[in-house]
Amino acid sequence: MTANHSELTGMTAAALAKIVFGKDPLFILDVRNEEEYSNWRIEGEHVQTINIPYFEFLEGAEYVWDQIPEHQAVLVVCAKEGSSKYVAEQLMEHGIMDVSYLMGGMKAWSEHLEPVKVGDLNDGGAIYQFVRVGKGCLSYMIISGGEAAVVDAVRMTDVFTDFADNLGVKITHTIDTHLHADHISGGRKLAETTGGSYWLPPKDAGEVVFSYRKLGESSAITVGKSTISIQPVYAPGHTIGSTSLIVDGKYLLSGDSLFVQSIGRPDLAGKAEDWVDDLRNTLYKRYKLISEDLVVLPAHFGQVAELGEGGKVSARLGDLYRMNPGLNMQDEAEFRAAVTENLPPQPHAYEAIRQINMGKMSPPDEEQREMELGPNRCAIHDK
């Protein structure tokens, strides 16, 4: 066909997140290899995706053109960006003009965080959820009286400092609900940058090589002069130190113990059999002692179906006890089998990530990015 010299345009990860959150239609041509695509891809309620590896276009296979719509916008995606730009240009040469490529590729998609307001606090403060939509991580910022606490921060800490600066608040606390294995924590770095206190459950910190404040049920963490109380609730099972947080008597930050559609897995520290009883006790007894009207805010989501209005991930605790399959296995043997057998693959590089989060390793930034590629897989149902 005759070449058309219209300029090729790129789509940012932020723009893509808006499409996913808005549940808008999108056709994605993913040109990574089949294994990478099968392991991890862009998903959305009205996102249609096909995988045609890059080399197919190099070989000029004619069959590929029949799979690409001519009258629908097409987003081409690859790992880093370069291959998608080449393929997008080939589509335009072939006469398919409504084409863009994902800027920064899947690496950029993995790192993008989208802030979503969860709700207001009793004293006029607010709580925000930072959705890492390409990986499924969820971080939080609790704001009150000109101060902020960040919970389960990810590696890209500039997002939190920029957000706080724009609101004119100072980050005074960073908190990890547990020692993470699926992503590199930004909590300690963020505390060092802002001069805040870094909190970590001591039962998860036996091998850490840095100083921290001990997060336990006797801890009193306040944010702002008007005092938003953050009440820790010991919730072992995903890790032996896992600790949930009750904020303002209204929100339950459940870490990786409880998700909207699943529950945490106990095997990422190699102690699944040891921690099964702790996990069951947390989910079936400890959480039963707190109000079922609390809004559960987990540290991860596994499926795009868990994204609610505006991209927010949340659910009322009482509703989860009715709907979440992980909370409805009354037989202990069934529960034990569910959380120890036939689990999803473990997160990529999770053992090295644990070492980084203990302070024992500090690889270059690009190596850290590579470690985090792929889904989080913290839940037992994320197959």
List Cβ neighbours of 123 (8 Å cut-off, separation of 6 or more).
144, 145, 224, 226, 227, 228
Pairing relationship of beta strands 221-223 and 295-298 according to DSSP bridges: unpaired
How far, in Å, are 89, 244, 276, 374 from residue 270 at the CA level? Answer: 47, 22, 12, 21
Give all strands of the β-sheet with 213-214 in edge-to-edge order.
114-120, 126-132, 137-144, 147-151, 170-175, 197-200, 213-214
Give the whole-angstrom CA distance, residue 264 versus residue 180.
12
For the record, the structure tokens of 176 come out as 């990890």
Q: Residue 127 — φ and ψ, nearest 5°?
A: -125, 135
List Cβ neighbours of 227 (8 Å cut-off, separation of 6 or more).
123, 144, 145
Query: C-alpha angle with apex 348: 346 to 351, nearest 5 degrees?
Result: 80
Give all strands of the β-sheet with 99-102 in edge-to-edge order.
9-11, 99-102, 74-77, 26-30, 47-51
Q: Which amino acid is at 66?
A: D
Q: Which amino acid is at 340?
A: T
Pairing relationship of beta strands 26-30 and 74-77 according to DSSP bridges: parallel
Catalytic residue among 64, 68, 77, 78: 78
Give the whole-angstrom CA distance, residue 119 versus residue 125.
9
Rg (CA), the chain: 22
DSSP letters spanning 296-325? EEESB--SGGG--GGG---EEHHHHHHH-G
Give the whole-angstrom CA distance, residue 343 versus residue 169.
42
| Residue burial 128-145, b: 16+ Cβ < 10 Å; e: rest | bbbbbbbbbbbbbbbbbb
Whether 78 is a known active-site residue: answer yes
For the record, the structure tokens of 283 come out as 């989910």
Catalytic site residues? 78
